[in-house]
Amino acid sequence: MASSSTSRSFRTFTVIWFGQLVSTLGSGLTGFALGVWIYQETGSTTLFAMNMLAFAIPTLIMSPFAGALVDRYDRRWMMILSDTGAGLSTLAVAVLLLTDNLEIPYIFIATAFNAAFTSFQWPAYSAVTSLLVPRDQLGRASGMVQIGQAISQLLAPAAAGALLVTIGLEGIILIDFATFGVAVLTLLVVHVPKPAATAEGEASKGSIWKEAAFGWRYIVARPGLLGLLLVFAVFNLLSGINAPLIVPMILDMTTADVLGYMASIVGLGMLIGTLVMSAWGGPKRKINGVLGFLMLSGGATMLFGLTPYLAVMAIAGFIMMFAMPIINGSSQAIWQRKVDADVQGRVFSVRRMIAWSMTPIAYAIAGVLNDNVFKPLLVEGGALADSITGRVIGVGPSRGTGLLFIVLGFLSILTAASGYLNPRVRNVETELPDAELKTIEDELQEQAEDVEDLQPSASTAD
């Protein structure tokens, strides 16, 4: 019976996962196509970046309140609300486009509404996963969730580029709207149990403001989780500085078509990483999956900046992206096992808000740091051009950026090492007790035990 209930609960998760996978692919198509449309219409990289901010800022603001609402109401219906609202905001863009009324401000507004609804998605999806998946399968489930992101990153740009030529932006947006319908349909046909109430969850109930703040208090009271969150926040700051510099750095060295090939290789690394995490589930001690692969990613970042050889850079980028699903999947498994099911919405929302709050800061300082500090150091006649650094990593337009990558990669390794040096973070899996997570497996087992309790009276009648 236990084996049967485990299989059934994982099948339920797989149905939801499939719907979200399809929706993620559709959103990837629209995200890439809208970015192309904005740039083609305006020629402004500033407006392109503002559309990214139009998504990021509402997500950060809404996250704590979204988490509180996710814990108050049925998680499955919160996911349906999220998918429906995001789908309708996407449909509004299609209607404006078809009626020749689409303008840049309307895109920003639609993007902000999309972000507001999407802010419910991640905490609800994470909490639902905890209720559906047995504890020993959480790492595998986290890997599966990231498959959609990897496939979207690998396939969406090429697919959207081809579809823009054949069916146009409006056709792509309508496809995206249909994928939201698939996600909603899969949620409507499954059953998700309610989380078991805990004393801490009951005590935290109150106004929406009190419940939104509870997630922060919950994390602070657990130094291991707080330390792990701070490690991620610093790493996101460092990797966020890297992100906007990769394309300009490579374009300083080669042509756009070679950049495309390299991007495909890097995206393949993330896809393979998700497949490995889905099959493997990560190391037995998930903290090693987080901190060990953070070190691997930092080393690959240093290699990416160290060499001017594109083939080596592609391999380094592959390793960087291969590590990400294992890092994220291992971290997610720790949080899902250690946070009580009835408060996961609030806790996970605050967790994401803090971890992601570094990204806008990183984007803001990346260009200034690169253009005004590092890049001038290793151009011809630069301060480090004739030094050992210049002789090792080379001199040229991309080499100062390469030096910045080396520094950021080294700091990433130090960040992971600080996690190992902190005993609360290093021992978070053993020091913190597992949360009370009532999965479908537990629910079916309880039903089976109720039936077994009736068996003796039936057998005595024989």
83 and 187, same domain (yes or no)? yes
Q: What is the pLDDT of residue 206?
A: 65
Query: Is residue 369, in this structure, part of any structural domain at all?
Result: yes
Which among 149, 118, 130 is positioned nearest to 332, based on CA atoms?
130
286 shares a domain with 137: no
pLDDT at res. 255: 76
DSSP string over 410-453: HHHHHHHHHHHH-HHHHTHHHHSPPP----HHHHHHHHHHHHHH
Range of the domain at 10: 1-194
* pLDDT at residue number 303: 96
- 179/217 same-domain check: no
In a domain, 169, yes or no: yes
| Lowest mean per-residue pLDDT among 170-174, 252-256, 397-401 | 252-256
pLDDT computed for residue 440 by the predictor = 46
The Cα–Cα gap between 161 and 157 comes to: 6
Q: Is residue 161 part of a domain?
A: yes
> Is there a single domain that holds both residue 235 and residue 107?
no
- Pick the last residue of a domain from 142, 171, 194: 194
In a domain, 458, yes or no: no
Per-residue pLDDT reduced to its tens digit, 16-27: 888 888 888 888
- Lowest mean pLDDT, pick from 51-65, 73-87, 375-389, 437-451: 437-451
Asked if the structure places residue 372 within a domain, the reply is yes
Does 200 map to a domain?
A: no
Percent of the chain having pLDDT more than 90? 24
Same-domain pairing of 163 and 231: no
Is 305 found in the same domain as 165? no
> Averaged over 52-73, what is the pLDDT?
82
CATH number of the domain bearing residue 101: 1.20.1250.20
Q: Are 237 and 408 within 8 A, CB to CB?
A: no
Together in a domain, 142 and 119: yes
Q: What Cα–Cα distance (Å) separates residue 194 from each residue in 3, 122, 348, 356?
A: 21, 17, 17, 29
Q: What would the pLDDT profile of 294-351 be if each residue is shown by its tens digit? A: 999 999 999 999 988 999 999 999 999 999 989 998 998 899 889 887 788 788 888 8
Domain count, the chain: 2
Report if residue 266 sits inside a domain. yes
Whole-angstrom Cα distance, residue 204 to residue 214? 7
Which amino acid belongs to residue 231? V
CB 193 within 8 A of CB 443: yes
The string of pLDDT tens digits covering residues 65-107 is 888 888 888 888 888 888 898 889 888 988 888 888 888 888 8
- Same-domain check for residues 156 and 233: no
Whether 17 and 134 map to the same domain: the answer is yes
Q: Average pLDDT, stretch 153-158?
A: 70
Specify whether 319 is located in the same domain as 432: yes
395: left (phi over 0), alpha (psi -120 to 50) or beta: beta
- In this structure, the answer to whether residues 160 and 216 fall within a common structural domain is no
Burial of residue 449 (number of CB atoms within 10 Å: 0-12, 13-18, 19+): exposed
